[in-house]
Chains A and B, each alone.
Chain A
Amino acid sequence: MRRFGWVGAAALAVALPWLPFLPPFWITLANYIGIASVVAIGLVVLTGVGGMTSFGQASFMGFGAYTTAILSTQWGISPWLTLPASLAVAGIAAWLIGQVTLRLSGHYLAVGTIAWSVALYYTFANLDFFGRNDGISGIPPLAIGGFRFIDPRATFAVVWIGVLASVLATRNLLDSRAGRAIRALSGGSVAAASFGVNTARARSLAFVHAAVLAGFAGWLYAHMQRSVNPTPFGLNASIEYLLMAVVGGAAHIPGAIIGAALVTVVNDQLQDLLPRLLGQSGNFETIVFGIVLVATLQAAPRGIWPLLARARPRHRDIQPDAPPLPHRALPTPNLTGGEVLDVRGLSKNFGGLAAVSDLGFTLASGEIVGLIGPNGAGKSTTFNLLTGVAEPSGGEIRFLGRSLAGLPARAIARLGIARSFQHVKLVPAMPVIENVAIGAHLRGHAGAIAALLRLDRAEEARLFAESARQLARVGLAEHADRPATELALGQQRIVEIARALALDPVALLLDEPAAGLRHAEKQALATLLRQLRADGVAVLLVEHDMDFVMTLADRLVVMDFGTRLAEGRPHDVRENPAVIEAYLGAPG
């Protein structure tokens, strides 16, 4: 939406409820939908995009609501001034909870939030400070000058402008360097970390963003309802918000709003209908919601929105004249032999099995080295050791003269080692160009606040200009806006190379880049790799296509049983009887 669109939507939110034919009941319902939407939009970032789940969103809403309730009733602080406090309390609570669980598997966060939302419910319900079960009443309404937002039609404007603000903030966040880090999580933590994404911080950011939105919803709720009590912030309410996101389509902002509308309206109708049908009173709507939740997961796991709207790729405008990003000076080959990577005595044991043992080799800038060997020789493990994905059991890796011991993957990426993966690890639903931009993550600096306020545009233009350049370099410029999974698998491997190049690497580690490529594409890849070699990049190549690697590599390192079996020029290695035996078995 252009800026005019947002202003127009805001004007609509102010004017719409005053239309004469709208019954007040529906306006009140729409206000509840708006508040629920804000919570559900937070779940889009957390669950739909970040792949985490929280059963505690209503608790965060409670933090926001009780904060403003206490500040405005007991200290008489203006509701507008309590807003930052409400957001901060929800956000800090989420940050603390995140510190405890976000390093564990996803379900620990989810089950943790279940326990804590029950604990918080009883805390609200038992402390005088929170007014116990009766809660806190007499909360002042929002007011501007003498105008008090009491009429639902007036509140409507506040609530829905709040929804618009949440949508805008969430879109800004997702379309930024920090947002890409969150989205990169669904391509696997390993890939994200290999390009310098601090995955723990990205998870925490998603969790805090969702909680702050919930806190905002709580603030809106407190001043609309003008009283708070523990019930709307209990576990069942949290489950309802999750239901909204899942039913509407957890990965999409419009899905969250549709889900919120559907669940709120159906809830209202069922609370009326079911007790009459069953002849007794009670919360029978939970039966329907439970069944709908399970049925949605089974029949339409991506929710309603993707069924309604066919996603069409949005074109991203690239500014090719944006000032180029700073470029790393590559070590010149004639200096100290140009060795960038020096591996000595490298070992890795899994249980009692040695996957790599006492491996040694070097890699110089402006050189292509092929790492070959039969299945299970330890090539992929070696890659993981070099890039910090796995920790060596012994030995030393030196890169540009410094030891990599103990460094996490993202620190190694910062030093200039970029890689591709044997099994493609791109973010499936994300456009190709944004996948490439993840590679340039470490070359930008803008954080989440800058993203929310759109202060990151100049840097984003530079990052995307660089990403577009690398994508053009590998010959996939015309696919920039397509979701990564729409490309052929061979092309996805090439996208991984573009992503690696966007890191501005000193050393490039490629795991079977030629697999799945047609002949002409292999030729193009070989040309690209030769070009990189001429530029001074050090290339380490694991490849099964022997013709490809034999014609391209300056040197080959042959691995068998985790150790170096042979090393030398391709021609010599090919004639080496030990190598032939490793591949074909002993002659009879």
Chain B
Amino acid sequence: MDSTIGLILVQDGVINGAIYALLALSLVLVFTVTRVIFIPQGEFVAYGALTYAALDNGQLPGSVWLLCGLGVAAALAGLWRRQVSARLLALTLALPALVLAVAIWAAPRRLGVAFDAALTLAIVAPMAPYLYRIGFQPLAEASVLVLLIAAVGVHLAMVGLGLVFFGPEGWRATALPAPSLALGDLPVPGQALWIVGLAIALMLALFAFFELTLFGRALRATAVNRLGARLVGIGTAQSGLIAFAIAGAIGALSGILIAPLTTVYYDSGFLVGLKGFTAAIIGGMAAYPPAVLAALAVGLLESFASFWASAFKEVIVFTAIIPVLLWRSLRHGPAEEEE
């Protein structure tokens, strides 16, 4: 392996690592705020990529119908639990209807990259809080394990729904417009700049949100002390909805970023999400900086593994958590009590 190949592998690793880092961040966010291990994160990546690719091709993405369906289901879930308010109806019925109308009008017109990306976010991101209302809110007091099983159920359903609404074919979007650069001998494609740049910008934005805004602090407070948060009036469900919305948006955005790089299928998201997830676990599921570092490590490991033993790339990446868990296990001493 010469240094050029090495640099290309590093570059690949950093690009993938940046995506995994975004996913790992939202997994940590969702876990600390709601205790849900958000397995369906990867489906949001696939949905984002496929929705964006459809708009990029001038077609109406099937996911917009799914958005409407989930909105109605969330409204019905609210009705069932007698928690109906004008706000709920606006968010679960009016919002999807509006997005649907815009999508039908805009899809054939090809209004450009920025518009497509924004519309993709509007279509995909709200699904996450709908899923929270339908699936997780009634289980808010359940154990981490029950929530995990429920998350796996949601993942299962979302993969099937992805097949229904996007079909079995893979899609690829045209690249985001950007000039290529050269770092010495190494050409850096525009898409890479987009991914790394946006990932960094998003992390800074999240940091500012958590440190400087009241709602960001409220999310942290819920993560630190659930009862304490409730005692100052921060509802668990409210925090959960915000956390899920952020996770959905990050997932969709990650999808938009990878759509021009690779062909995405309805079920491609799972492995991508799982790598973000591996990073979050390696980072300990509790803090953001270790999760980002672990994500970069996972990206680099994957890129070098695909060079040396491409067939075993996945095996190598996923078994990487064994030594980490072993180390944690030895450091932690006796088994922790479940909650």
Contact = CB atoms under 8 A, between A and B. Distances in A.
A278 B336 CA distance: 47
Rank and list the top 3 A-B pairs by shortest CB-CB distance, nearest first. Answer: A290-B157, A293-B153, A290-B156
B274 A114 contact: yes
Contact of A103 (B153, B158, B334): B334
A363 to B, nearest CB: 26
Contacts of B278: 115
Contact of A289 (B146, B153, B167, B335): B153
Interface of B: 37, 39, 134-135, 138-139, 142-146, 148-150, 152-161, 163-164, 167-168, 271, 274, 277-278, 281, 311-312, 314-315, 318-319, 321-322, 325-326, 328-330, 332-338
Interface string A117-135: 0111011001000000000
A297 interface: yes
Contact of B318 (A110, A115, A297, A298): A115
A424 interface: no
- Classify chain A: how many residues form its interface, as a range: 35 or more
A287 B161 contact: yes
B23 to A, nearest CB: 14
Contacts of B149: 53, 242, 246, 293, 297
Given A119-B318, A301-B146, A293 B312 contact: no
A487 interface: no
Given A111-B281, A294-B153, 6 more contacts: A103-B330, A107-B145, A119-B318, A278-B164, A286-B156, A297-B139
A297 B142 contact: yes
Nearest to A289: B156
Nearest to A203: B335
B24 to A, nearest CB: 13
Given A103-B329, A123-B312, A239-B156, A190 B150 contact: no
Contacts of B325: 100-101, 104, 108, 112
B153 A291 contact: yes
A100 B326 CA distance: 5
B163 A112 contact: no
Contact of B312 (A111, A126, A242): A126
A280 interface: yes
Contacts of B281: 108, 111, 115
A34 B52 CA distance: 45
8 contacts: A104-B336, A106-B143, A108-B328, A112-B321, A116-B319, A286-B157, A286-B159, A294-B135
A55 interface: yes
A123 B153 CA distance: 25
Nearest to B336: A105
Contact of B148 (A103, A111, A190, A298): A111
A107 B284 CA distance: 12
Nearest to B310: A126
Contacts of A288: 160
A295 to B, nearest CB: 9
A199 interface: yes
A285 to B, nearest CB: 7
A104 B312 contact: no
A83 B318 CA distance: 29
Contacts of B163: 282-284
Which among A104, A119, A289, A290 has the highest number of chain B CB atoms within 10 Å?
A290
A517 interface: no
A294 B167 CA distance: 24
B157 to A, nearest CB: 3
A374 interface: no
Given A188-B337, A287-B157, A298-B138, A107 B314 contact: no
A236 B143 CA distance: 23
A243 B338 CA distance: 22
Nearest to A110: B148
A296 to B, nearest CB: 9
